[in-house]
Structure 1
């Protein structure tokens, strides 16, 4: 889905965004009050300038409206692979963005992400994956690492990883697999404004991705391993 039709469906009461290239920020009205918007469009590859722009919007919202919810709208093909960004330390810029979001959370802001296009690699990890709750549209695509890249990193044959992806959502891309793993809470369809209001009304419950992944059969060991570590058994 394109950005502007999405905004119309999410915010029938109105919205206002400032867009530079395919990175934007702004605010919108809901029946529950104002929300801050940040995000990317057109499969934007997130670079250092984009990270600074998004971080500035988060800091401004935290300074002026510390308890206002922040909605992150994600459509990114990943981090920008350029010599300039790498030499300037893109990882530090992404860490800065992540820290601003953690500051917003500690000051009382709810962090909600909606993946409406693609969510890939560092472009997703740097801001969208920081949310308290992550949702996706039915046609969205999510993958933190392509299987071919995973094969290069893990030194495992591609055909082996492809076989594993057919039985384990941990190795497989796609919204449904991320729902099974507990990383995505649910898929939004039909009345998007009502879905957003329901998300904003949910009580804060901390990070329960491991528990949801276990309940849904997508991550069968993470919850037990974490419990064993906390108990000093591992």
Structure 2
């Protein structure tokens, strides 16, 4: 689905969501109130200005204090890999955006990510993965790091990583692997009204981050939950 099709399905009566320089911002009627929409469209790389603009929109929603749900729509490239953005502290700007979304969640604003195109690396982490619940539409193509990049970082041969990715989802990009690891909570049906599906996701939200449990149940991360629990227990004892 395109962003225009997504917005039409979410807001059949109209909306005030706009796209400028690849950044999505605005709101529309939702479940008797309104939902704030922010995000990235058109496979746009997320740079300093974009991260700060999205952060401001999220924080403005928190300041309004009405516990308005926030929908983060994502079709981005990775973060903008330019020397200028790196020197201006792009890593801190992306972290600020992620923390703004976490703050919104803790302040009572349900945060839902919706990936419908591509996304990778820091841009994926700071937007889609920073929401309480992440949904996807068929055809989405998320990745934290592609295998050639993993090979450069780990110094492992690409052929070995490709073989490992066949049985270990944490090594592999793509929607199916993100679902298996619990990173993506649900795949939505584009033939049904998205407003209803988003509303149901919000209604079924559980306290805290359940991605480790989902990864264990789906077999994509069979030991991560247990290890995280053991580390937390050791920290409490210490």
Question: Per the shorter chain, which TM-score range?
Answer: over 0.9
Matches within 5 A, 1:75-224: 75-189=75-189, 190-191=191-192, 192-224=194-226
Q: Is the 8 A contact 2:215 2:221 kept in 1?
A: yes
Q: Is the 8 A contact 1:179 1:186 kept in 2?
A: yes
How far is the alpha carbon of 1:62 from its aligned partner? 0.9
What is the RMSD computed on CA atoms of the aligned residues?
1.5
Q: SS of the counterpart of 1:142?
A: strand
Runs of 4+ in 1 over 3 A off after TM superposition: none
How far is the alpha carbon of 1:152 from its aligned partner? 0.1
TM-score by length of 2: 0.94
How far is the alpha carbon of 1:231 from its aligned partner? 2.9
> Using a 3 Å threshold, how does the CA distance of structure 1 residues 80 and 60 change in structure 2: closer, same or farther?
same
CA deviation profile, 1:77-129 (whole Å, cap 9, x unmatched): 11001111011110111122122212212211011000011121111111221
1:224, 1:125 → 2: CA distance?
Answer: 23
For structure 1, list consecutive stretches of 5 or more residues without a partner in the other structure.
none
CA deviation profile, 1:41-63 (whole Å, cap 9, x unmatched): 11010000000110111111111
- Greater Cα offset, 162-171 or 26-35: 26-35
Q: SS of the counterpart of 1:13?
A: coil
Match of 1:59 in 2: 59
Q: SS of the counterpart of 1:95?
A: helix
How far is the alpha carbon of 1:32 from its aligned partner? 4.3
1:42, 1:212 → 2: CA distance?
Answer: 30
Aligned length: 234
2:210, 2:199 → 1: CA distance?
Answer: 20
Q: SS of the counterpart of 1:167?
A: coil
Q: Is the 8 A contact 1:181 1:216 kept in 2?
A: yes
Q: SS of the counterpart of 1:16?
A: coil
CA deviation profile, 1:8-39 (whole Å, cap 9, x unmatched): 01222321123221102100112342110001
1:154, 1:203 → 2: CA distance?
Answer: 36
2:65, 2:11 → 1: CA distance?
Answer: 19
For structure 2, list consecutive stretches of 5 or more residues without a partner in the other structure.
none
TM-score by length of 1: 0.95
Match of 1:35 in 2: 35
- Greater Cα offset, 64-73 or 77-86: 64-73
